Amino acid sequence: MLSYEVPGWGVGELYLDGERLLYHELPSARASRAEAAKHPLAARLGRYFAGERVVFADVDVDLSWGTEFQVALAQALRAIPYGETVTYGELAALAGHPNAQRAAGSFCAANRFPLVVPCHRVVAAGGLGGYGSLGGEYKRRLLELEHAL
């Protein structure tokens, strides 16, 4: 586990196996459980939170646990460009399952890679929608950072 700190956002954590990302926690106002990371991915995340347009398409993520549908959702999420949004229904259709918007929402809620597999770019048909334990305001901040709102 590697911690990284982002001014104005807090402390986040990366769980890696070599260079493969296993899990990523977004920065929040809490104490770190490990020393600050000097890892290239931590530096990229810091640049993203500083407002730089950073792409994470090349980051190797561990999707070995996922079903074929979950892997398709992850790939569809990774294809959503910086600064753009889709609805849960549109995400499901992009993954090849146009009537699976609830399943797409469940996948986003359990997303292990919140920026690398950017579920914050998925919004409800009638508004912003939630963002797990960090809440809708955190999602709004991310979308504002990307000038998507």
Q: How confident is the model at residue 131 (pLDDT cuts 50, 70, 90)?
A: confident
Residue 40 and residue 72 share a domain: no
Ranking 56-60, 130-134, 138-142 by mean pLDDT, the lowest is 130-134
Model-level pTM? 0.87
Asked if residue 59 is part of any domain, the answer here is no
Average pLDDT score over residue span 68-81: 96
Asked if residue 58 is part of any domain, the answer here is no
CB atoms near residue 132 (< 10 Å): 16
Residue 79 and residue 132 share a domain: yes
Is 119 among the catalytic positions?
yes
Asked if residue 62 is part of any domain, the answer here is no
Residue 76 and residue 42 share a domain: no
Residue 138 and residue 72 share a domain: yes
Residue 122 · residue 108 · CB < 8 Å: yes
| Residue 149, both tokens | 């709102």
CA–CA gap between residue 4 and residue 19 (Å, rounded): 16
Residue 38 and residue 94 share a domain: no
Structural domain harbouring 41: 2-49
Residue 118 and residue 72 share a domain: yes
Average pLDDT score over residue span 121-131: 88
Residue 95 and residue 29 share a domain: no
Asked if residue 56 is part of any domain, the answer here is no
Instruction: Give me the pLDDT at residue 77, please.
Output: 97
Asked if residue 61 is part of any domain, the answer here is no
User: Of the listed 45, 119, 123, 145, which one is catalytic?
Assistant: 119
Residue 139 and residue 84 share a domain: yes
In Å, how far are 9, 65, 72 from 6, measured between CA atoms?
5, 29, 31
pLDDT digits (tens, 9 = 90+) for 34-74: 555 678 999 999 999 999 999 999 999 999 999 999 999 99
Residue 11 and residue 75 share a domain: no
In three-state secondary structure terms, 143 is: helix
Residue 4 · residue 37 · CB < 8 Å: yes
Instruction: Give me the pLDDT at residue 34, please.
Output: 53
| Residue 51, both tokens | 């407002």
Asked if residue 55 is part of any domain, the answer here is no
Instruction: Give me the pLDDT at residue 126, please.
Output: 86
CA–CA gap between residue 70 and residue 14 (Å, rounded): 21
Asked if residue 114 is part of any domain, the answer here is yes
Please state the three-class secondary structure of 88-131 as a single string: HHHHHHHCCCCCCHHHHHHHHHCCCCCCCCCHHHEEECCECCCE
Domain count, the chain: 2
Please check the confidence at residue 32 and state whether its pLDDT lies above 60. no
CA–CA gap between residue 132 and residue 65 (Å, rounded): 20
